Amino acid sequence: MRLTFKVLGLAMLFTASWVTKGLSQDSTINLSPNANLEELLDFALKNTISIKKAYIGEEIGEREIASAISGWYPQVNGTGSLNHFLIVPTSIVGGNAIQMGQENSSSLLFQANQTIFDPSLLQASRASKFIREQYKQTTETSKINTVVDVSKAYYDILTTEKQIVIIEENIIRLQKQYNDSHVQYEVGMVDKTDFKRAQISLNNSKAELKQTVEIRKYKYDYLKQLLGISNKYPLDLSYNDEDMESKIFMDTVTTIDPKTRIEFKQLETLQSIQQLNTQYHKWTFLPTLSAYGNYNFNYVNNSFTQLYTNNLPSSSVGLSLTMPIFQGMKRIQEVRRSELMETQLDWDMKELNNVINTEYSAAMASYKANIIEWKNSKDNVLLSEEVYNTLKLQYDSGIKTYLDLMTAETDLRTSQLNYLNALFAVLSSKIDVQKALGIIPIQ
């Protein structure tokens, strides 16, 4: 029994420490629970996991560059050996068999090499700035994607928040209609079909509200994932019609310049690296030159215990030149292959230009179409509100049937939701246009 209480106590202590640790981690998050889009983007660009990984990638790139060019520094090596001849080698000298050497030998060699010219090291040095640029461009790509994803997730949540408000307002109207129709039924003014229909509509709206609230939870969790924070962190975004509407318009006559796209810059970097590779394969026809110096400790003795008492050292310095003469046409084939890859990248560049222009055309067409739909939806909201208010007065006066009122109420709710969806579509397509133009702000 005592053991059970001890185990239970340890479990409670561990749980408490884990919760405290989680809360302390969340408490260090410098993000307002009611953050606006600018605050969310600023936080995301500093804390999103993909961006942090991209920065680590830049550090990895620096280590790769340092490793690749380390061959320019002196290379010092030490080599040791210990040998025992079971049979000492014998040579014939002047017709006599004479043992050459002693039973035990040992050597310790220290050698330093300094590369003077090496095509591979020269290529690594010249390519280092492009490798560094590649990693920075990867980070920039992560930032662009983060801004796009967080912005869309933000607008999607605000749209859902407003949908919930609309559904709640609809429930209030339906509840009143149900109450009124039920009273009218009890006094014999109408039959029971009116309040039964009201009950059905009310139940459907309540079910829709629950579904939308559950979807909202997922959308908040998705936004928190993009921000790199725990899904337990409190975050509550507020909706502002005017704030969102003020951000939907943009210049639709902007001329696209493919060079502003990060994909274009990345392909340019690849082209530069491939050109260096071609040059490197041409450099492989040149010799490699290095300087060396060594010092060798040589120990020999027939007695193993006295081996290291007799040292016969040697030392030398010099130059080493390696001239590749014939390698089965390998170098020529590598040059041709690299040149073909350059041509392939040229075609990739032309294809990318076409893709960028098509992306921009599609994004702009979608944006303009969504603007038209948004304006139409906004007008429909005003019209449906006017129609509903008129029919409500007429129904209360006994001029219109309850079916007419339900139809007007359905039209009102549908037009309000269509307006929200159209607003989100415009904001989303505007972001796509900015991405196609290569003008997504990442600072």
pLDDT at 402: 78
Q: Which pair of tokens denotes residue 76?
A: 């010092």
More confident residue, 12 or 78: 78
Contact assessment for residue 178 and residue 195, using Cβ atoms and an 8 Å cutoff: yes
Look at residue 16 and tell me whether its pLDDT is greater than 50.
no
Residues 88 and 187 in one domain: no
- Does 232 have pLDDT greater than 70? yes
Task: Give residue for tokens 């530069």.
Answer: 272
Instruction: Report the percentage of the chain scoring pLDDT > 90.
Output: 62
Q: Do residues 124 and 174 both lie within one domain?
A: yes
Predicted pLDDT of residue 241: 64
Judged against a pLDDT cut of 60, whether residue 22 lies above it is answered with no
Contact assessment for residue 313 and residue 296, using Cβ atoms and an 8 Å cutoff: yes
24 within some domain: no
Residue 220: per-residue pLDDT: 94
Q: Please give the single-letter amino acid code of residue 278.
A: T
Looking at the structure, tell me whether residues 301 and 374 fall in a common domain: no
> What is residue 79's three-state secondary structure?
strand
Phi-psi region of 240 (alpha: psi -120 to 50; beta: other; left: phi over 0): beta
179 and 57 within one domain: yes
Same domain, 154 and 204: yes
Mean pLDDT of 292-320: 91
- Within a domain: residue 362? yes
**Which has the minimum average pLDDT: 251-255, 256-260, 299-303?**
251-255
Three-state DSSP state, 299 = strand
How many residues are listed for the chain in this entry? 443
Domains identified in the chain, total number: 2
**13 in any annotated domain:** no
Q: Are residues 147 and 84 in the same domain?
A: no
- Judgement on whether residues 278 and 295 belong to the same structural domain of the protein: no
Strand positions, DSSP E, 29-139: 75-84, 90-93, 96-99, 104-117
Do 342 and 352 belong together in one domain?
yes
Residue 5 lies in a domain: no
**In CATH, what number is assigned to the domain containing residue 315?**
2.20.200
In a domain, residue 429? The reply is yes
- Residue 189 pLDDT class (50, 70, 90 cuts): low
What span, in angstroms and rounded, lies between the C-alpha atoms of 272 and 129? 10
Same domain, 194 and 309: no
In angstroms, the CA 197 to CA 194 distance is 5
The DSSP result for 392-430, as a single string, is HHHHHTTSS-HHHHHHHHHHHHHHHHHHHHHHHHHHHHH
- Torsion-angle region of residue 82: left (phi > 0), alpha (psi -120 to 50) or beta? beta
Task: Pick the last residue of a domain from 306, 322, 338.
Answer: 322
pLDDT at 24 over 80: no
Of 20-24, 230-234, 391-395, the range with the lowest mean pLDDT is: 20-24
Range ranked top by mean pLDDT from 84-98, 139-153, 302-316: 139-153
Which pLDDT value is given to residue 392? 86
Query: For residues 163 and 169, what is the distance between their CA atoms, to the nearest angstrom?
Result: 10
Where does a domain end: 322, 347, 372? 322
283 and 308 fall within a common domain: no
Top mean pLDDT of 16-20, 248-252, 270-274 is at: 270-274
251 pLDDT tier (thresholds 50, 70, 90):
confident
What mean pLDDT is predicted for residues 404-426?
A: 91
Helix, strand, coil percentages (3-state) for the chain, rounded to 5, are 70, 15, 20
- Domain extent at residue 374: 30-68+118-287+327-437
Q: Is the pTM of this model over 0.85?
A: no
pLDDT of 62 higher than 90 = yes
* Residue at 34 is within a domain: yes
Quote the pLDDT of residue 79: 96
**Mean pLDDT within 360-373:** 95
Assigned token pair, 365: 């067409």
Q: Is pLDDT at 415 greater than 60 in this prediction?
A: yes
CA distances from 414 to 10, 166, 377, 378, 381 (A): 56, 10, 10, 12, 9
Q: Which band of pLDDT confidence, cut at 50, 70 and 90, is reported for residue 41? A: very high
Tell me the C-alpha to C-alpha distance, in Å, between residue 261 and each of 53, 173, 357, 365: 22, 50, 11, 19
Give residue 255's pLDDT band: very low, low, confident or very high (50, 70, 90).
confident
The answer on pLDDT for 44 being more than 70 is yes
Please indicate, yes or no, whether residues 195 and 85 belong to a single structural domain of this protein. no
Lowest mean pLDDT among 97-101, 257-261, 287-291: 97-101
Residue 88 phi/psi, 5-degree rounding, is -70, 130
Q: Give how far Cα 169 sits from Cα of 10, 92, 203, 204, Å.
A: 50, 113, 14, 14
Are 306 and 348 contained in the same domain?
no
CATH number at 128 reads 1.20.1600.10
Q: What is the pLDDT of residue 239?
A: 64
Task: Tell me, yes or no, whether 426 lies in a domain.
Answer: yes
Residue 442 confidence (pLDDT) above 80: yes
In a domain, 157, yes or no: yes
Residue 111 has pLDDT above 60, yes or no: yes
Which residues sit opposite 288 in a β-bridge? 322
The residue out of 307, 322, 337 marking a domain boundary is 322
Question: To the nearest whole number, what is the mean pLDDT of the chain?
Answer: 87
Distance CA 15, CA 17 (A): 5
